[in-house]
Structure 1
Amino acid sequence: MKFKTLLATVGVVALTATAQSAEVELSLSHWVGAQHPLQPGGMEPWVESIKEASEGRIEITIFPASQLGAAQDHYDMARDGIVDIAFVNPGYQPGRFPIVAAGEIPFTISNAKAGSRAYDEWYRQYAGQEMGDVYFCMVHLHDPGTLHGTSGPIQVPSDLNGKNVRPAHGTMARLVNALGASSVFAGAAEMRELLARGAADITASPWGSIYTFGAEDLAKHHLDMPFYVTTFAHVFNKAVVDGMSEENRKVIDDHCTPEWAEKMATKWADGEAAGRQRMIDDGHTLYKPTPEEVELWIEATAPLRDEWKAAATKAGIDAEAGWASLEETLEKYDSKVE
């Protein structure tokens, strides 16, 4: 219910004209560009569905590209009412959300589509505990990502030794540090700048995002395997949702489900996956690990699972039961890495 005057002065992507009859006008803030596949493929259909289901009572305007705040601040922006809805990468604040970080562990989740449904279904049992100061809507994933560098090879864990790496999240940062690399923490939109000025040699990213964020002329060497996913959340300011009428609240509840988590991720996942073939067509160098080399990566990442269990236990959950539940849910949706 914010930014009614700001709409007239800030360049925004409004999905519908502001309707005088709307009962609820909401701002949705995110930090990727308006043309990033997530917006036209996920956010816009979600917003339109909410409008239709509410018979025009709920209007949502999207503010892309960090117009309203930095990527790392988006959870707090929703919590504090600076925005009504925020797109959040919990891993941009390492250690703050230890439970949801389970999805960041490499070689855990095999795909972003059914995997997003599975992960959302699993995390809902913990969301109130970890994100209780907002209205939790959904979590979802990006297509499995990997490592992309300005020079090669990137084939085995020792290839990271001595390099500067932009990690995707806190879990990846701990991994690269353990492998003798230095982590250079920054949002995805900053990866090109880091690579261009030599502040980073390698960036973690799904395939298509190298093109989305304009780094394809710099990152031409790639670890050719599905390595990790990143967890994302959509959250609302709690007071905004609590203040809605019963019928409007039901519309929001109906659009914050595991099914919608899968819908939010699907077209984005397709766009990311297509980036790999584009790189091949553009003459990039892809390093395909042998089965023995894959085992080296699995061995290198194994301690992350125990680290997660320790952090989750400290956060107050039964970590062993939680991990077993995660694996069971991923298997249910054929999304567990075997």
Structure 2
Amino acid sequence: MRLSRLALTAIAALALGSAAMAQEVTLRFQHFVSPLSANPTYFMQPWADKIEKDSGGRIKVELYPFMQLGGKAPSQYDLIRDGAIDGGWVIPGYQPGRFPEAEALELPFIVTKNAEEASKAAWIYTQKYLMDDFADVKLIAAHMHGPGIIHKTGAPVATVEDIAGLKLRGPSRPATLLLKKLGATPVGMAVPAFPEALAKGVLDGGVITWEMSPSLKLDELTDSHTDVAGDRSLYNLFFIWAMNKAKYESLPPDLRAVIDANSGFYASAWAGRAHDTGDKDGRDQMAAAGNAIATLSEEETARIKALGDEVIAEWIDEVTARGLDGAALVEDVRAAVQVTRSASQ
């Protein structure tokens, strides 16, 4: 039986439409750490797998570690914004002064050591203050890592005086402000440069999480690891997981919905939880290597916290002079932390 030309045209159109619906979209996301570290292992790759599953295989997310697609870690936000990559992991603090309201989340002893709780608070705070800052990308998650630990060569830190004179890597402006208050010589440095600086003796140590310790070989490059007492962190770092806005908007509505369903509060908590898992693993590996693991006394922690309070007061004055309400920013971080802490109890 012959089909009419009209019927053949209709069949062809349907076939083309079905092919378009089944077409695979490949998104290239980039980060700057080992694929074996906590966030890529427990968040990024599972997130990518879930996007593929939820889209029925129509979206594939490829992850590129160690900045393999080009550029430097401090430029990651601009690489995403400008479309050099489809998405990736960003530390806003790697560009000091660009996102001043984000710094409130990184001030000393302001968020808890539980990264999932801290990340939920970060998302709440981000929704109130940072969406305009990140308006030129598609924001997927805003999260915190776990507590920053002092890693150094030689004996662990036991007093504030033990920190004085040390050359220590710091990841963000709030962290380096605290290190300076403690008498250290802070050296602002992105994480990929940290191991080489230790190996060459440029640094005595630095502050970073437990979970990053194995991938940076801190079991070999340092001898001791010191945390503060209590449930608040010496410092935490703020991250975003983001996508190029034009790429996101080019997706059909049903695929944008897949990204949306795996974004926001849920994704932020997931990313924070990844760091909690990695922190336990990292601490265990440092201990298994025979390195000294220490926690400062409550008295010494109180001395550091007092210096941290000075950092916070000076930060409030500084950003208020720039036209922001510094006191309100700090108060809202604390309020968000309290909400998420209460919800977890």
User: TM-score if structure 2 supplies the norm length?
Assistant: 0.85
35-44 or 49-58, which deviates more = 49-58
- Structure 2 residue aligned with 1:303: 310
Please report how far the alpha carbon of residue 58 of structure 1 lies from its aligned counterpart in structure 2 after TM superposition: 1.9
1:131 paired with 2:134, answer yes
Amino acid paired to 1:227: L
Q: Does structure 2 conserve the Cα–Cα contact (< 8 Å) formed by 1:145 and 1:207?
A: yes
Give the whole-Å Cα distance in 2 for the aligned partners of 1:22 and 1:184.
48
- Structure 1 residue aligned with 2:99: 97
State the Cα deviation string for residues 127-177 of structure 1 (Å, max 9, x = none): 222222222221111121211101234233332222211112221112222
Amino acid paired to 2:72: A
Q: Does structure 2 conserve the Cα–Cα contact (< 8 Å) formed by 1:147 and 1:222?
A: yes
User: TM-score if structure 1 supplies the norm length?
Assistant: 0.87
State the Cα deviation string for residues 210-229 of structure 1 (Å, max 9, x = none): 21211211211222324221
The alignment's C-alpha RMSD in Å is: 2.3
- Structure 1 residue aligned with 2:237: 230
Give the whole-Å Cα distance in 2 for the aligned partners of 1:199 and 1:188.
15
SS, match of residue 221 in structure 2: coil
Aligned sequence identity (%): 29
Amino acid paired to 2:73: A
1:9-48 equivalence runs, <5 A:
21-48=22-49
- Structure 2 residue aligned with 1:321: 328
Amino acid paired to 1:105: L
Q: Does structure 2 conserve the Cα–Cα contact (< 8 Å) formed by 1:127 and 1:136?
A: no
1:266–1:22: structure 2 CA closer, same or farther, 3 Å change rule? farther
Give the whole-Å Cα distance in 2 for the aligned partners of 1:166 and 1:218.
13
SS, match of residue 107 in structure 1: coil
Give the whole-Å Cα distance in 2 for the aligned partners of 1:63 and 1:278.
25
SS, match of residue 33 in structure 2: coil
- Structure 2 residue aligned with 1:52: 53
Please report how far the alpha carbon of residue 292 of structure 1 lies from its aligned counterpart in structure 2 after TM superposition: 1.3
The number of aligned residues is 318
1:239 paired with 2:239, answer no
Amino acid paired to 2:249: D
Give the whole-Å Cα distance in 1 for the aligned partners of 2:64 and 2:284.
31
SS, match of residue 328 in structure 1: helix
Q: Does structure 2 conserve the Cα–Cα contact (< 8 Å) formed by 1:157 and 1:300?
A: no
Consecutive unaligned residues in structure 1, runs of 5 or more: 1-18
Give the whole-Å Cα distance in 2 for the aligned partners of 1:98 and 1:109.
17
Please report how far the alpha carbon of residue 249 of structure 1 lies from its aligned counterpart in structure 2 after TM superposition: 1.9
156-165 or 252-261, which deviates more = 156-165
- Structure 1 residue aligned with 2:275: 268
SS, match of residue 211 in structure 1: coil
Please report how far the alpha carbon of residue 46 of structure 1 lies from its aligned counterpart in structure 2 after TM superposition: 0.9
- Structure 2 residue aligned with 1:193: 196
State the Cα deviation string for residues 251-294 of structure 1 (Å, max 9, x = none): 22222111111112213321222322333343322343222111
- Structure 2 residue aligned with 1:332: 339
- Ranges of 4+ aligned residues in structure 1 off by more than 4 Å: 314-317
Please report how far the alpha carbon of residue 88 of structure 1 lies from its aligned counterpart in structure 2 after TM superposition: 0.6
Q: Does structure 2 conserve the Cα–Cα contact (< 8 Å) formed by 1:114 and 1:335?
A: no
90-99 or 274-283, which deviates more = 274-283
Please report how far the alpha carbon of residue 41 of structure 1 lies from its aligned counterpart in structure 2 after TM superposition: 1.0
1:284 paired with 2:321, answer no
Please report how far the alpha carbon of residue 334 of structure 1 lies from its aligned counterpart in structure 2 after TM superposition: 0.9
